[in-house]
């Protein structure tokens, strides 16, 4: 049995969800607190859009024409609606991972294994962190990109933290895995082929269990990409129509599918 098979099975969902994700660049800082969208550009201009969709640049309320008013509305609503979707995708990824990891290591080491408990605890902590960063105590949407690594709130941080968690736990579990292998070989009449086949079956079973969930998550990720592209479109319209917003370039989306 190759130990990498376990890691590959565990990381299946992150690979599936990321395969067709769009490339999103975030420049500047963004917050959405108490329904007020605030963007600090690379030039340190502060752009605000309140719940009434009024636009302010560096504290000055801007007069807008009908087209600009529509783009402001689309931009505000786009980001407002995108925040919970980003949280939902991250949380669903963690939930699928929890099932996969529990099944893989649980079948191999036993459901009461410290390694299984540890990774479930780690994933629970990640879930709590996601909820804390995307929702206020009263359940309302909130966001502050300064709380995220590199200001990225669209998924890369959660993917990296998830992979780091998996790597840490799998590494810490290698000793237990070797013991399980030794025990199986001693009490299984030394049948290495049978043991390896059982491990391969574990991976196949996990893939079957989470395949449908992973496909749904992939579909949500694709839809999210289109959602972000719409925000980018409205942003470009605003940037090109008002000199005060010439530095507004928070979101840049490349929708080419990854191979």
Give per-residue pLDDT as tens, 99-115.
777 776 666 666 666 76
Query: d(Cα 61, Cα 47) in Å, to the nearest integer?
Result: 10
What is the reported pLDDT for 8?
Answer: 37
pLDDT above 70 for 243: yes
Q: What is the pTM of this model?
A: 0.74
Instruction: Answer positive or negative: Cα dihedral of 174, 202, 101, 15.
Output: positive
CA-based nearest residue to 177, from 100, 116, 96: 116
Find the mean pLDDT for residues 228-240: 95
Chain segment 51-70, per-residue pLDDT in tens: 999 999 999 999 999 999 99
């Amino acid at each position: 049995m190759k130990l990498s098979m376990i890691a590959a099975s565990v990381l299946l969902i992150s690979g599936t969800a990321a395969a067709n994700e769009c490339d999103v660049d975030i420049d500047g800082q963004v917050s959405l607190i108490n329904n007020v969208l605030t963007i600090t550009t690379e030039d340190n201009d502060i752009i605000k859009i309140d719940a009434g969709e009024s636009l302010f640049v560096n504290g000055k309320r801007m007069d807008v024409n009908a087209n600009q008013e529509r783009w402001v509305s689309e931009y505000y609503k786009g980001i407002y609606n995108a925040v919970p979707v980003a949280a939902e995708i991250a949380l669903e990824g963690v939930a699928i991972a929890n099932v996969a990891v529990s099944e893989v290591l649980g079948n191999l080491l036993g459901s009461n294994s410290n390694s299984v408990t540890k990774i479930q605890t780690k994933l629970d902590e990640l879930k709590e962190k996601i909820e804390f960063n995307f929702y206020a105590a009263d359940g309302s949407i909130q966001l502050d990109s300064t709380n995220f690594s590199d200001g990225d709130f669209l998924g890369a941080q959660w993917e990296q933290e998830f992979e780091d968690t998996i790597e840490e736990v799998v590494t810490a579990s290698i000793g237990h895995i070797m013991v399980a292998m030794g025990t199986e070989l001693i009490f299984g009449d030394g049948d290495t082929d049978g043991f390896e086949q059982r491990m391969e079956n574990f991976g196949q079973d996990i893939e079957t269990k989470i395949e449908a969930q992973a496909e749904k998550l992939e579909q949500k990720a694709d839809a999210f990409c289109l959602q972000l592209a719409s925000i980018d479109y409205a942003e470009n319209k605003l940037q090109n129509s008002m000199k005060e917003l010439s530095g507004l370039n928070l979101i840049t989306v490349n929708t080419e599918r990854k191979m």
